Amino acid sequence: MRVHILGICGTFMGGLALMARSMGYQVSGSDTDIYPPMSSLLQEQGVHIQPGYAALQLNPRPDLVVVGNALSRGNPAVEEMLRQRIPYTSGPHWLMNELIPEKKVLAIAGTHGKTTTSAMVAFILDTLGLDPGFLIGGVPGNFPVSARCGKGQWFVIEADEYDTAFFDKRSKFVHYHPEIAVLGNLEFDHADIFDSIQDIERQFHHLVRTVPPDGTVLINADEPRLQRLLEQGCWSQVQCYSTRGSAAATWQAQTLAEDCSAFEVTRDGHHCGTVQWHLFGRPNMSNALAAIAAAVTAGVSSAKACATLAGFRSPRRRLELISTARGISLFDDFAHHPTAVRTTLAALRSRSQTGRVIAVLELRSNTMRGGHQRHELADALTLADIAIVRWHPDLEWDPQDLAPSSDRTTLQVYDHIAEIVDAILTQVRPADQVVLMSNGNFGDLRNKLIDQLSQLH
């Protein structure tokens, strides 16, 4: 069967392509944003990618078109698909009905931390012999691919609240019908499709409604909105977890190191194990606690789950350390929401008391470009000593609005990547921590800085 995927380089659709290819499908695809790591993963597996969405890409006619949620009416490929009456479907529907119809789904939902938590759960289950399938919205550090079918009964999926397709405006995660659902946090995001936090809460409650009565909903007790979500009704088993001592939580984590690189896990007050690992920061500790609770619910030993995380490697672009040249720590991170920016910078602050923290931010996401949370973003950036912001031509506000009220943080705004590289190179010094934050390629700034920092004298 020949399948053509529109929007193939997105993390979700690219993962589908990898799974389908491994199952024997002939897979091709189109996209406008073709860049590593997803483009490299696809090409290594023999998936042909065509730039843009020209109508002629559907000739010869494929047997099926899988439509990504970034595509809408008026797109040349979509119009050609409809003109030819080619059968089409959405990614989530195809996944559940054709690729993994017999699997038990373990879904990781939340505004932040989905990719890392999904990768942790998959890694724990895989290391302990359960051979799970998974679809992770990034490139995991412990697996050569971001998605696979697996031979075991469990399928771990990063469950996104974004809409499904131009013909199905429900959140993607309502298609997954999980046996275990993890809800890590809930904040306003995706201002291009949601008008309010209440709209997002409604979609999350739709997910809760799909969990069977003997299934499990794992809730972060440190997030008040999630507690209010449960009050709307839950018909499944509920377990709560907390890193801040919530009395409502079955699962708890207590720090054994200031930067959260070591912590103890308890369940109902009883010691389960100790995690000592390469990651740091409270958000990662919370992600790990959720992953351990989910893996134990899926059937593994809590002590073994804790011990396994010593070998966990963070997914690419999730506070990923990419260079230590000249004593300067360069990180790449996917943060594109004020809370994610704040927690990323706080984690770096907890890691070092000597050098400065230099935040480099691209205002790329739809929510960022609209300026819906610019005041919260300005507050988050005060955790940096220097905040370097890239101006975007589609901005609906002035990034100078991010100027801090105190003298602690210096704000610098630039139009071009070359200017940002020069600004960093002229200001950075040994022991500094530089973090790049964007949900896109950021003009290949990552590789440009790795190259330039290695040449510093």
Domain membership of residue 193 (yes or no) is: yes
Q: Give CA separation, 83 vs 58, 86, 87, 88, 339, in Å.
A: 11, 8, 11, 12, 44
| Number of separate domains in the chain | 3
Answer yes or no: do 336 and 422 share one domain.
yes
- Verify that 297 and 340 share a domain, yes or no: no
Same domain for 397 and 425? yes
In a domain, 95, yes or no: no
Is position 418 within any domain? Answer: yes
Report the CATH number that the domain containing residue 22 is assigned in CATH.
Answer: 3.40.50.720
Last residue of a domain, one of 258, 279, 311: 311
Per-residue pLDDT of the chain (457 residues; tens, 9 = 90+): 999 999 999 889 999 999 999 999 999 999 998 877 788 889 888 999 999 999 999 999 999 999 999 999 999 999 999 999 999 999 999 999 999 999 999 999 998 899 999 999 999 999 999 999 999 988 898 998 899 999 999 999 999 998 999 999 999 999 999 999 999 999 877 667 777 888 999 999 999 999 999 999 999 999 999 999 999 999 999 999 999 999 999 999 999 999 999 999 999 999 999 999 999 889 999 999 999 999 999 999 999 999 999 999 998 888 889 999 999 999 999 887 888 899 899 889 888 778 999 999 998 877 777 777 788 888 889 999 999 999 878 787 787 878 876 778 899 999 999 999 999 999 999 999 999 999 888 888 999 999 999 887 6
Instruction: Select from 280, 311, 342 the last residue of a domain.
Output: 311
CA angle 116, 120, 123 (to 5 degrees): 135
Q: Global pTM? A: 0.86
Q: Which of 58, 89, 120 is the last residue of a domain?
A: 89
CA dist 259 and 263 (Å) reads 10
Q: What is the CATH number of the domain that holds 405?
A: 3.90.190.20
Domain coverage including residue 122: 100-311
| Per-residue pLDDT tens digits for 196-220 | 888 999 999 999 999 999 999 999 9
327 part of a folded domain: yes
Domain match, 281 and 153 both: yes
- Asked if the structure places residue 94 within a domain, the reply is no
Residue 247 and residue 380 in one domain: no
Does residue 330 share a domain with residue 307? no
- What is the per-residue pLDDT across 55-93, written as a single tens digit (0 to 9) for each? 999 999 999 999 999 999 999 999 999 999 999 999 999
The CA distance from 347 to 225, in Å, is 23
> What's the pLDDT tens digit per position in 248-281?
999 999 999 999 999 999 999 999 999 999 998 8
Integer Cα distance of 169 and 270 in angstroms = 44
The answer to whether 229 and 205 have CB atoms below 8 angstroms apart is yes
